[in-house]
Structure 1
């Protein structure tokens, strides 16, 4: 008898699905049985992902969408509702680094763009997809954070502030859904061999860093129905969970 795949029959939205962590997570979740709703800006890159997922026997729906398009995120929820009537997994992976600069030198437009993608878009996703996650027997919302939300490195101000805000957003959502089947997890992947890391640390040898494919199996586990923790932060490097306590 063929063993049932851990995400068999589940519907998963993955943002930033054509690069880095999102790309490998989308492929791994599809291999684990999920139908991937892949969200990214570039149609061509989405089609390449679709080809790879389908070649491996998986299923994928492509959503070319700039996450600064709030009404577009609203339409995403409506389209998922019409087709499936529910959502089982949200992997909110998309994010941008922004400017590495003293706070006083950051341009307003750069600050606003980081907040729009890293914070506001994720609030819009929650707003659009929450009713669908609540219709799942085991909704899972996973948000990709960063250690700089806590270390507060100099010159990383916009990114650090945005990730701290993202964690506050995710934890608030965890508190609001604690009496539902939804589980909310934040993930700190640590330094990883991604384009964003290369942008931030151009002199670093990428071969010294974990490949983004290495975190994909952990994200599959966090998205599975048998993962029952919520309001926790998963540290990929240590494989440890930081547990918080939702208010009664």
Structure 2
């Protein structure tokens, strides 16, 4: 099959459901071979079936992103097989807990930081050399409006996304004179499992669906993209200034 990403090699974390799953499907539909990374084997197999049914191809990677040596092994495997990586989407994340900061349990704080920040750094550490080997490497880091609004009781999740954005912007500055482009994405309120956990009284039918949100993110993976170090707001369908107001 041919498409806008024909022949490209992509990797998506959190690919078993939600936006990550839909992005993997979109990339495959556009001709990319997609490394689908998630913990849930059954959901990955269902994704693979859908991709193959549409003529696409994927490699399933059952991996807990807290297995940091596993991330290193994944990078080595991609290098051995392809010698490069064209697209990386750091989508996997966890909400943690909505709570007064002083009431957050240490183990919850540490696991949320490890999942939302440290694992992204480990991905960058492992995959940056492969993305630089691409003629048009594209990195997409999934953030949240929480990183900038810092609402009461959202401190843990907000802190992880703010830290991840800082990593992403620094990485973009470090690679500005290369072919690699690094951007952040605020998907906005979306009908995902995480959103349902955070807002249990909300009707998911009133929210954008993951597939529609993913469709707007796909252009950030195209070789024609030139922006780097910027925040893409899905709701407004445009890049915004990443700096916090004031």
TM-score range, shorter chain: over 0.9
Q: 1:85-234, aligned counterparts within 5 Å?
A: 85-234=83-232
Query: What is the distance in 2 between the residues matched to 1:216 and 1:57?
Result: 19
Q: How many residues align?
A: 243
Counterpart position of 2:16? 18
Secondary structure at the aligned position of 1:14 is classed as strand
Query: What is the distance in 1 between the residues matched to 2:231 and 2:67?
Result: 28
In the alignment, is the contact (CA less than 8 A) between 1:65 and 1:72 conserved in 2? yes
Counterpart position of 1:236? 234
Instruction: Report deviation, 1:240.
Output: 2.0
Secondary structure at the aligned position of 1:39 is classed as strand
- Runs (4+) of structure 1 moved beyond 2 Å? none
How well do the aligned residues superpose, as a CA RMSD in angstroms? 1.2
Counterpart position of 2:81? 83
Query: What is the distance in 2 between the residues matched to 1:156 and 1:44?
Result: 31
Deviations 1:118-148 (A, max 9, x none): 0000000000000000000000000000001
User: What TM-score do you get using the length of structure 2 for normalisation?
Assistant: 0.97
Query: Unaligned stretches of 5+ in structure 2?
Result: none
In the alignment, is the contact (CA less than 8 A) between 1:32 and 1:220 conserved in 2? no
Secondary structure at the aligned position of 1:213 is classed as helix
